[in-house]
């Protein structure tokens, strides 16, 4: 019996992963030139432009949800193909081990890079300047424990645990009910279900980097994870949106335009919207997340479902690039702070250099070692 999409080759998933990963690098690079995050981002440049904000926050609202949809999808696929025990072993090796292995290394690296920024950068960002002042205080505050950008892996582990819990407590009956819903109703339900999670955090929703599982993130990303899980077992769940995809894309973009317009000029805690404005922004954020995530998956399926050598290569290295890109971006960003170049050039240089060094390090440190067995994803077929 062929359940879900277990026996179909899924090139578009590999390609989508590659694109989403690249978008992640561009997103983090763009934040250095974001007016909204100017006072909070460690490598924030003196130059900034709203264009970077438009791109950064637009991609931010659906990029990680897309990753979680894929994670849910592959979770179902792996469970279907290999069963519970093999799944558990696989996730321990591919998710828990890299987290345990790289979190300390990245923390140390990030410590050194921030120290480098504090000591060497002549034109520090507001964040670096703020840290410098803190350092002069008699009691230096300690940095909170953080999972950094590996929060994705960390929360994924909790979502696997929750999947197991749901499997024991609820079974498949619940998922079957969702499939019976009409597209409009399912969309409304998803958007409304997401709203409480996003309402409790600042706009645009932050990365849940702290050492504790963030309940809002488990709820928010968990819904996308569940959507991906359901998509594997019942492809109709997402494919039913295919007919009116252009309409959903347009609605999503319009919602984002309005959302961007309503966002505060600076994302400092004091500037956070309250009351009805906050509620409206949360509704728009939720709508954008749901609509653009579904569009991303279905457009990828429509236009990117073929084997492309470059995309396959990027997909192959994406896990490694994901792990190392952020400290590299900060380091390069700090170096660029003192350069008198145009921000667009700086942005391109930081992206190219980060990706270039990541790829180089992949071939030098990973591709021929045991690490490749853990970090190189097999084809999704």
Partner 1 sequence: MTTLFKNTNMIKRLIIKDWELMKKGIAGYMAAGIVTIGIMGMATEITFNVGAILMITLLIVIGARSAVESIVNEKKDQTMPFILSLPISPQHYALAKLLSNLVLYIVPWLILVLGMLAVIISTPIYNGVIPLVVLVSVYILAAYCCYLATALLTYSEGFTIAVMIVTNLLINAFIIGIMRMPEINQTFKAATASWNSTSLTILAAELGFTCVILVLTAYLQQRKTNFL
DSSP 195-236: HHHHHTSPSSP----BSSPPHHHHHHHHHHHHHHHHHHH-TH
User: H helices within the chain, ranges in order?
Assistant: 11-30, 50-91, 97-120, 126-136, 151-169, 173-179, 183-199, 215-233, 236-239, 245-262, 275-303, 309-337, 343-361, 371-375
Stretch that binds partner 1, among 42-50, 107-115, 160-168, 256-264 (CB under 8 A): 160-168
Q: How far apart are CA 262 and CA 250, in angstroms?
A: 18
In this structure, what token pair is assigned to residue 294? 């579904």
Nearer to partner 1, 212 or 368 (CB): 212
Q: Does 172 bind partner 1 (CB under 8 A)?
A: no
Nearer to partner 1, 20 or 103 (CB): 103
Nearer to partner 1, 21 or 217 (CB): 217
Smallest gap from Cβ 220 to partner 1, in A, equals: 13
Q: Does 1 bind partner 1 (CB under 8 A)?
A: no
Stretch that binds partner 1, among 21-29, 155-163, 189-197, 371-379 (CB under 8 A): 155-163
Kindly state the number of chain residues that form the binding site for partner 1, as judged by CB under 8 A: 16
- Compute how many other C-beta atoms are within 10 angstroms of the C-beta atom of residue 89: 11
In this structure, what token pair is assigned to residue 219? 């709820």
What are the Cα distances from residue 372, in Å, to 15, 70, 92, 342, 362? 19, 21, 15, 38, 9
Smallest gap from Cβ 126 to partner 1, in A, equals: 24
- Which of 164, 178, 199, 299 touches partner 1 (CB under 8 A)? 164
- Which of 93, 108, 134, 165 touches partner 1 (CB under 8 A)? 165
Q: Which of 76, 284, 36, 66 is nearest to 160 (CA)?
A: 76
Q: If you ran DSSP here, which 8-state letter would residue 47 be given?
A: -
Q: How far apart are CA 62 and CA 253, in angstroms?
A: 11
Smallest gap from Cβ 210 to partner 1, in A, equals: 7
Q: Which of 314, 317, 320 is nearest to 105 (CA)?
A: 320
Stretch that binds partner 1, among 58-66, 165-173, 250-258, 348-356 (CB under 8 A): 165-173
Nearer to partner 1, 24 or 222 (CB): 222
Q: Which of residues 204-223 bind partner 1 (CB under 8 A)?
A: 210-215, 218
Give the dihedral of Cα atoms 269, 273, 274, 277; nearest 10 deg.
-170
- Which of 135, 145, 192, 277 touches partner 1 (CB under 8 A)? 145
Stretch that binds partner 1, among 117-125, 156-164, 245-253, 331-339 (CB under 8 A): 156-164
Binding-site string for partner 1 from residue 294 to residue 313, where x marks contact by CB under 8 A and - marks none: --------------------
Q: Which residues are near partner 1 by CB under 8 A? A: 144-145, 158, 161-162, 164-165, 168-169, 210-215, 218
């Amino acid at each position: 019996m062929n359940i879900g999409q277990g026996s179909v080759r899924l090139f578009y998933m590999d390609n989508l992963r590659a694109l989403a990963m690249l978008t992640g690098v561009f997103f983090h690079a763009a934040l250095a030139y974001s007016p909204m995050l100017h006072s909070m981002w460690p490598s924030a440049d003196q130059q900034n432009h709203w264009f970077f904000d438009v791109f950064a926050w637009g991609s931010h609202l659906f990029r990680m949800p897309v990753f979680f949809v894929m994670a849910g999808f592959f979770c179902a696929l792996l469970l279907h193909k290999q069963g519970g025990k093999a799944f558990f072993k696989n996730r321990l090796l591919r998710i828990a081990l890299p987290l345990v292995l790289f979190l300390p290394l990245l923390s140390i690296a990030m410590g050194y890079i921030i120290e480098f920024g504090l000591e060497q950068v002549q034109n520090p960002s507001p964040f670096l300047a703020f840290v410098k002042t803190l350092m002069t205080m008699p009691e230096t505050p300690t940095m909170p424990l953080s999972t950094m950008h590996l929060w994705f892996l960390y929360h994924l582990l909790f979502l696997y645990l929750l999947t197991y819990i749901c499997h024991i407590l609820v079974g498949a009956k619940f998922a079957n009910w969702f499939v019976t819903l009409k597209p409009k109703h399912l969309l409304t339900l998803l958007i409304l279900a997401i709203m409480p999670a996003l309402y409790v955090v600042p706009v645009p929703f932050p990365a849940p980097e702290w050492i504790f599982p963030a309940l809002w993130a488990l709820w928010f990303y968990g819904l996308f994870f569940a959507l991906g899980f359901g998509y594997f077992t019942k492809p109709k769940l997402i494919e039913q949106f295919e007919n009116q995809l252009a309409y959903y894309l347009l609605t999503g973009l319009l919602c984002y335009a309005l959302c961007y317009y309503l966002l505060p000029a600076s994302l400092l805690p004091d500037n956070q919207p309250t009351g009805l404005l906050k509620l409206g922004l949360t509704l728009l954020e939720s709508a954008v997340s749901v609509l653009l995530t579904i569009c991303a998956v279905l457009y990828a399926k429509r236009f990117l479902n073929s084997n492309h050598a470059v995309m396959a290569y990027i997909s192959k290295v994406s896990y490694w690039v994901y792990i190392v890109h952020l400290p590299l971006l900060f380091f390069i960003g700090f170096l660029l702070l003192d350069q008198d170049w145009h921000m667009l050039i700086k942005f391109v240089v930081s992206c190219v250099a980060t990706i270039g060094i990541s790829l180089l390090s992949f071939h030098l440190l990973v591709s021929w070692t045991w690490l490749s067995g853990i970090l190189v994803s097999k084809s999704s077929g």
